[in-house]
Structure 1
């Protein structure tokens, strides 16, 4: 996909939302209690075209809108990281800017962009605060590249996601707890090959931009501008308990795991900082899956090739603290 060119004069939608296609995922964020933000969104964007993912796919909604006589000038999404990541891919495919309205459980990318609330995002939109950010693309075998906003992972974390998806009736939190317990007893090692070097590992995490050096599992990026991948490889020299403990995401959880001496030693970890990485993956007895932005994807059970690369200025978003884009034609109420 081509990176956006900030020097052009493409039009932006109006402040009232005219020219904006907003897609809401009503299933996002059901594990947390939040006020209904749709009334405020409708009040501030009265002219926006609003669609729901209830009974429809994001791809189909966007394709239908772009095929119409009045194609949108921008895309907006109200949802969690999975919905935002897919919307970003579609926005890039159609060369549209993206308005991210946080509505999920964790909202990793939205928080990294300073969009902690829907109100903050709407304020950035009203201010015309458009900017470009670094994204990544992951390609498996001969499949088309997938846009990534936060991280790609192999091994223990995707396997945990696969276990959690078997228990959706328990909800995200309880399902995750049961999946983690099962992983402590049944996590699988996988084999990766990079530059001819073979390794048995518990996990691989590739995050966008340099992240916290103390962490292995990186789901939320530290910045939006650094065009590198920060790859953490957890070599399978320790126990399954440490493999699962290494998936500690929050600072408090990480501190507890370190205090209990459950985190793997530095000798089991490898860090690679590069603009791209190319891996041969041999799952063995592990499920042939990987994760991108917390979403599970399947690959070939007999092994697959994974290529990840960063794309500087790969996506335009609205984010706070940015001067309005002055080289784009104003919307109707701008």
Structure 2
């Protein structure tokens, strides 16, 4: 998965590093608190824990306007928090430090950062990668940075359902309940591209080329590949096949394939492009939403135009080099 290796400024004690932690990330996952490790290994870093309702953008803006503005932006959180900080790092031309603290940590795993220690090792050594990304926008909205995938259809419906239940049931149980309800109520979404219309269960737009045998390409497989790998699951089969839109691991996909719940290859259109524009019309009564890196974006009920484009060398990120111990 490694991309072009680059040299970044080594910061063994964390001087000039702002680290923002999102305590809500991965709340249902059993893991040790990274705060003591960060304090021990990066005593000179400025660490800020997001309060409820506090915006990451405001925290970074205040730090950059202060008397000692940071030279590195770091984040402890899941893919959504990392993508938001990556957007700010791009905006201000600063390198990014990813300290995995979410449920799946798709982007950190793609970087080869398997834990907080590995991220700090890379920061101390000054090793990094040049990373391709994507930008997504709906209608006239400002583009947002995407690190892994943009999706519409069944999976965003599940995320929307889960958000309604997460406070009462927690992320994992809420996710199971949301998936069950979303699959019972799944309706095809109508998309149009270049004048061609189609009814689809889902669309996944992955940053970089992805595994050829999957529909739900939730984790990127490359770091510097500046193309969009698009999977369009056409609504030609039974509703049960919408399960394939939730099978974002090879073992899960293999299990569904064994149960004959994965769509045949003829139902999944694959496109490699550097940018795409889709007109999206959700079914009446279903959520008008799309998801990027696990973050839900609500859209007008009557539909919207979704644009995604690949961005080469979008980001400099601290990460271990190939062969690093």
TM class, shorter-chain normalised?
over 0.9
Q: Deviations over 1:225-274 (max 9, x none)?
A: 11100000000111221112332112221111111111111111100001
Separation in 2 of the partners of 1:80 and 1:16?
Answer: 24
In structure 1, the partner of 2:15 is 18
Q: CA deviation at 1:205?
A: 0.2
- What is the number of equivalent residue pairs in this alignment? 317
Q: Where do residues 1-334 of structure 1 align in structure 2 (5 Å cutoff)?
A: 12=9, 14-55=11-52, 56-168=54-166, 169-285=168-284, 286-321=286-321
Q: Deviations over 1:134-188 (max 9, x none)?
A: 0000011111000000000011010011111111121111111111111221012
Sort the Cα spacing of 1:246 and 1:140 in 2 relative to 1 into closer, same or farther, 3 A: closer
In structure 2, the partner of 1:328 is none
Specify every segment of 5 or more residues in structure 1 that has no aligned partner in the other structure, as ranges. 1-5, 325-334
Is the 1:129–1:322 contact (alpha carbons within 8 Å) kept by the matching residues of 2?
Answer: no
Q: Deviations over 1:11-66 (max 9, x none)?
A: 84732111111001111111111112211111111001110112322111001111
Specify the SS of the correspondent of 1:218: coil
Specify the SS of the correspondent of 2:246: coil
Q: CA deviation at 1:284?
A: 2.9
Is the 1:137–1:308 contact (alpha carbons within 8 Å) kept by the matching residues of 2?
Answer: yes
Separation in 2 of the partners of 1:184 and 1:91?
Answer: 37
TM-score calculated relative to the size of structure 1: 0.91
Separation in 1 of the partners of 2:82 and 2:288?
Answer: 24
Separation in 1 of the partners of 2:287 and 2:261?
Answer: 25
Q: CA deviation at 1:318?
A: 0.4
RMSD after superposition: 1.8
TM-score calculated relative to the size of structure 2: 0.94
Specify every segment of 5 or more residues in structure 2 that has no aligned partner in the other structure, as ranges. none
Is the 2:10–2:125 contact (alpha carbons within 8 Å) kept by the matching residues of 1?
Answer: no
